[in-house]
A and B are shown apart, each in its own frame.
Chain A
Amino acid sequence: MPNFGYTINSDRQIDYDSNDKRVARYLAEHEPSFMVCISCGTCTATCSAGVFTTFSLRELIGNIKRGEARNIKAEAEKCMLCGKCQLACPRGVNTRNIIMNIQRAIEAFEL
């Protein structure tokens, strides 16, 4: 693996051949506002759960869009559905429904 020079995250490559985009497609269909997220991170900055643990909706959405579905089950379960992110989101993303639908997708695809 080449050294890309990043310091915060460990260097890695995204392998599109092995990635699973089913959840992303499911979300695009069931909560279309998923597609307008610009990954600004406001949701993560305001998150109630984020005060107590490393939970980031921005990261979760990013991973799902890339088709990296490894940890999404455990991550989505951390959300308290309090709705602050939804009020803060500058793009009007229906964040609570994204969490609900991530979980529905996990159920549907038995991830």
Chain B
Amino acid sequence: MTFDLFVLPFFLGLITLLVILSVKYARWIKGFDLADRDLIRKGVFTKKSLGAAGEVFMESLLHRKMFRRNGWLGYMHMSFALGWFLLIVCGNLESRIYSKVHINPPYYPIFLKFFVADEHILRHELMSIPGVFRLLMDMFLLLVLSGLVLALIKRASSHWFGLKKTTRHTFFDRLTITTLWLIFPLRLLAESFTAAHYHGGSFLTNNFGDLLDRFLPAQQLSYPAWWTYSLVLGGFFVSLPYSRFMHIPTEVMLIFFRHYGIKPTLHFNHYSNFEIQSCPKCGVCIDACPLHTDANEDGIPPAYFLRTLKNNRPDINSTYDCLLCGRCGEYCPVGININALRVSQRIRYAKNLNGSFTYLKQTKSQLAEVAYFAGCMTHLTPSIKISMEKIFTTAGVDYQFIDRDGSVCCGRPLWMAGKEKQARELMEHNKKLIESTNCKTLVLSCPICLKIFREEYGLNIEMLHHSQYLLRLVNEKKIDLKKEDIQVAFHDPCELGRGSGIFEEPRQLIRQMANLVTASEEKGMSICCGGSLGSTGINCYQRDEVSQLTLETLMANNPGSIITACPLCKKTLQKGSPVEVKDISELTSSLLDVGKSSTPGLNN
């Protein structure tokens, strides 16, 4: 027997799912830029596909990043994904052995135990094939069921899984997860009822079947159980493309696209659809967000923001309130580029907001080896620029302070507010100013400037944050530093650390001058100082709350002072800090060992 009416709900559900997925994906891929489609074409038959397949195995099946977050959380996701995957693969192999043909109808392996629950076949099978497949299938089913138990526990107390807050799902998503959860107990029931009579299972289904048979009419219940199993499977497949479980197939596609080299753009496009739909709404980002007290239905954390983005345009508050600190991105197991998606929505909102900088007269600078661009925020914290000038002079560097008489903003604040065109106007101005110096190295004091200079200016020179540059001066023995026996903590500015990947240089520099103590959240996990220019929406009290949160993490090991590497962070943290807050350049300048140095600057 290879067919029964009860397979139809599953079979039709599967076909519906495949048709919907194909249509959606085809439409989105068709909307890709020509260059991106070329990348796919060129990448498919290369080792990039192998790399992508490896990542799919590690992330979509094993859930490595989830394991890193929390062992139980990782196991729960892994047991569902890997367990189900192995059930499909192993069931498929098993069905080939029974049917002795290579291609079976897709429903045949799923309901194999029903079709082969014939004593004659079983006896034959027992003689010819070891029961290893039956054993494996029961083991994999148990693996999935163990994950289901954890999922139920997680609903009751998520803190065991390292989550303080979990996503509030929509009614439809809750309905879909119920069907997902029902699939595996129903499979167990259907196979056990059948095994009670034929003993075609293994340790799990045979014994469970026997147990059920003691007080239930297993033989009569077997057929309805297979029907229910098929109906629930079909129901899950049909609802999948409209629920958060769309992430299962979409994340696989996204991983492949990334390996082919497709990158998210500033403007919302069809690739963005793949990113949005890859979000599983797992809610890991909710705890990561320093504004998570605002986590309402249309809230800031990506789990909610992307849900509204999927359906329509997110409201203006959740679009503009976000600090763009990028901490959620570090937590995200899928690696969705949430900041790019958020800015893409700001661009939509700011479409008609203009800016006009025709009042700027192009200025030029004198020639120099090194150009120093302090940036707006550094002009607000003059001790930083004074320190930098002192260090430049001490080291005898041929430099020009190109925005000494006032900065034209780097453009990043406008860029983050969705005013890309206006930002480019300012960028063009600054670019010409820098090119006029003919410098080899550009030193920047503000990480906000650094990020946009590096990513969007297209300058063909070395661009360094001052923490990197100062470390270089020390390494090249252009300046000498004294070491003091003081305890300091380092605050990673978002744009410098997560934004530009500079974590180690400032720490190396600080260690030469003081004893660096750790903060409870640091490097990629550090929290925004609260002053971020990424947000235009939140008020000063919300900013203060974020600052306090950050200061608590920085004060974890009772440092005598806090060192940061951003004028904005310094200014913001200063407001509520119990200890002194200094920029790394101020610390360096105050600990310059002028006695030892024999640089030309000192001889003057």
Contacts and interface: CB of A to CB of B under 8 A. Distances in A.
Interface of A: 33, 46, 48-49, 51-53, 74, 77-84, 87-88, 92, 94, 96-97, 100, 103-104, 107
Given A33-B540, A52-B359, A84 B379 contact: yes
Nearest to A102: B353
B101 interface: no
Interface of B: 320, 350, 352-357, 359-361, 376-377, 379-380, 405-409, 413-414, 417, 419, 426, 531, 533, 536-541, 568, 571-572
Given A74-B356, A80-B376, A82-B407, 10 more contacts: A46-B380, A49-B359, A77-B355, A79-B355, A81-B536, A83-B533, A87-B531, A97-B537, A100-B536, A107-B353
Contacts of A46: 380
Given A46-B380, A81-B409, A100-B353, A53 B359 contact: yes
Nearest to A93: B540
A80 B426 contact: yes
B132 to A, nearest CB: 66
A78 B408 CA distance: 12
20 contacts: A48-B376, A48-B407, A51-B406, A78-B356, A79-B355, A80-B408, A80-B414, A80-B426, A81-B414, A81-B419, A83-B413, A83-B568, A84-B379, A92-B539, A92-B540, A96-B413, A96-B417, A100-B350, A100-B353, A100-B417
Given A52-B359, A78-B359, A96-B413, A83 B376 contact: yes
B409 A48 contact: yes
Contacts of A87: 377, 380, 531, 568, 571-572
B548 to A, nearest CB: 15
B376 A84 contact: yes
Contacts of B379: 48, 84
Contact of A48 (B350, B408, B571): B408
B353 A104 contact: yes
B419 A94 contact: no
A29 B426 CA distance: 31
Nearest to B533: A83
**Most B CB within 10 A of own CB, among A46, A48, A74:** A48
A100 B353 CA distance: 8
Q: Determine chain B's interface SS by DSSP, over half rule.
A: loop
Contacts of B320: 97, 100
B360 A52 contact: yes
**Most A CB within 10 A of own CB, among B405, B417, B541:** B417
Contacts of A107: 352-353
A81 B443 CA distance: 22
A83 B407 CA distance: 13
Contacts of A104: 353
Contacts of A51: 405-406
A33 B354 CA distance: 23
A78 B357 CA distance: 6
**Most B CB within 10 A of own CB, among A80, A96, A104:** A80
Contacts of B377: 82-84, 87
Contacts of B533: 81-83, 96
A95 to B, nearest CB: 10
A79 B361 CA distance: 16
A84 B406 contact: no
Contacts of A92: 539-541
Given A52-B359, A74-B356, A107-B353, A94 B380 contact: no
A8 to B, nearest CB: 22
Contacts of A100: 320, 350, 353, 417, 536
A81 to B, nearest CB: 4
A101 B298 CA distance: 21
Nearest to A95: B536
A35 to B, nearest CB: 12
**Most B CB within 10 A of own CB, among A94, A100, A104:** A100
A94 to B, nearest CB: 6
A38 B417 CA distance: 26
A96 B408 contact: no
A107 B353 CA distance: 7
Contacts of A49: 359
Top-3 shortest CB links A-B: A92-B540, A51-B406, A53-B359
Contacts of B571: 87
Nearest to B353: A103
Contacts of A33: 539-540
Contacts of B353: 100, 103-104, 107
